């Protein structure tokens, strides 16, 4: 099973999932009073309310008519707002689709790589501020 994020915005998350030569589209939609999860355009789950909506959804791919078998996945969302002032966009802070063997796709605050601590101060500066320096000759002016 392979997955990738196709669209990521404040109220929409679309994930393409490829399993056994078949492609599926997993969608999360945020409306005014409810959230919904759709698989190939069909509603699989919903969460209603003004506050405290669900952030974790479980799905099963390839289940037979009796409800047996299939592959389980878990969709986790961090729906708080991330505003990118350089591009003028807003989106959810984190998305993660987890399979039995680990994450299939992860972004933002739910990406395991964001939890890793930098080994040195230089690594911290590079990660948080995009600054890099060193003894390499290409980084020095002529």
pTM: 0.75
> pLDDT tens for residues 89-108?
888 999 999 998 989 999 98
Can you give the residue ranges of every domain in the chain?
A: 2-133
For domain 2-133, give its CATH number from 3.10.180.10, 1.10.630.10, 1.10.4080.10, 2.40.128.180. 2.40.128.180
Residue pair 75/28 in contact (Cβ under 8 Å)? The answer is yes
Query: Nearest Cα to 34, choosing from 75, 98, 73, 79?
Result: 79
pLDDT < 50: residue spans in the chain: 140, 142
């Amino acid at each position: 099973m392979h997955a990738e994020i196709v669209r990521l915005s404040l109220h929409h998350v679309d994930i393409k999932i490829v399993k056994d030569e078949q492609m599926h589209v997993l969608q999360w939609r945020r409306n005014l009073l409810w959230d919904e999860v759709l698989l190939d355009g069909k509603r699989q789950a919903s969460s209603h309310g003004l506050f405290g909506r669900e952030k974790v959804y479980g799905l099963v791919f390839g289940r037979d008519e009796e409800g047996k078998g299939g592959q389980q996945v878990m969709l986790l969302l961090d729906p708080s707002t991330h505003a990118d002032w350089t591009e003028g966009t807003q989106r959810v802070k984190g998305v993660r689709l987890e399979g039995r063997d680990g994450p299939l796709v992860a972004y933002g605050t739910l990406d395991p790589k964001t939890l890793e601590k930098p080994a040195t101060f230089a690594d911290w500066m590079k990660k948080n501020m995009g600054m890099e320096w060193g003894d390499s000759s290409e980084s020095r002016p002529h």
